[in-house]
Amino acid sequence: MSDEKRPPAPGHFESLLETIDTLRSPGGCPWDHKQTVLSASRYLMDEAGELVEAALAGDTEGVREELGDLLFMVSFVCRILGETHPTTMYDIALEGNTKLIRRHPHVFQDSQAKDVGESQDRWNEIKADEKRAKGLDPDRDSALKDLPAATAPLHQAYRYQKDAAKVGFDWPTIDGVRDKLREELAEVDEALAGDDEVHLEHEIGDLLFSVVNLARWKNIQPDMALRRANTRFRDRFHLVESEFAANGADMKDSTIENLEESWQRAKAQLARGTTSGS
């Protein structure tokens, strides 16, 4: 968009930064005062998750709202960092923009990319050069790409498995994946028979890893699948609660059979307006 066609900035972003300054300043909010870069970063992850949830639901207004919350948290983390290191959101924007232009020579320079694969290869090559410039070794002998420590575990497992598969470390057919899943479930059963929580945690971790591998084989993002499952559980459970409340009953006093019947009614009620499975 040219400068002539770009509407003038209304100053709302500057107002957001001023609000954050007030919250962190003397006389501001005690909760905001006690936050650190680490604690605020964790809340930022929560806001990103809520954005994904709104996008999954197709909730346009929800996406707008969560984008605002996410922008606040990014700006808030930057403000906290700026208290000990000379950093502003304008510095962050400049660095981000410079990086985007540098990693897209096929857009902002004369080089071209014929397809998505080639553009991604260019991106990775430039990213590797940036690591070398920082004294890091992007060429270390591992097919597994480095991931941030904050990467969600399900997605981390998915990425590791995908990287390993690129060099042939994979089952030849999905039958091997299914057999491995059964094997891990059997090992969980064995661990349950014992009294070793460390061993049980180990086996449950292996089982989850195998479930992620099954999802990868069918091109399903495991974290998205689990988010949708969480949403289905929440919606059905709310209906069960409403049914018991309408009848003046307490769920804690009910039998498992009655709870299951109510659950199935909730499942059927929601299924009439959706195509999602159980």
Q: What pTM was computed for the model? A: 0.57
Query: Which CATH superfamily groups domain 12-101?
Result: MazG-like (1.10.287.1080)
Every domain of the chain and the residues it spans = 12-101, 103-133, 153-217, 222-271
Widest distance between CA atoms in the chain: 72
pLDDT tens-digit profile, the chain (278 residues): 344 455 555 688 999 999 999 999 999 999 999 999 989 988 888 888 889 889 988 999 999 999 999 999 999 999 999 999 999 999 999 999 998 888 888 788 777 766 777 777 777 777 777 777 776 665 566 778 777 666 788 888 999 899 899 889 999 999 999 999 999 999 999 999 998 999 999 999 999 999 999 999 999 999 889 988 998 999 999 999 999 999 999 999 999 999 999 999 999 999 886 544 45
Position 250: which residue type? D
Element (H, E) at 68: helix 60-82
DSSP character string of 120-154:
HHHHHHHHHHHHHHTT--TTSS-SSPP--TTS-HH
Position 156: which residue type? Q
Q: Give the number of other CB atoms < 10 A from CB of residue 17.
A: 18
Domains 12-101 and 153-217 share a fold: yes
The domain defined by 153-217 folds into Helix Hairpins (1.10.287)
DSSP state of 8: P
DSSP state of 252: G
- How many CA atoms within 13 Å lie on the side-chain side of 3? 0
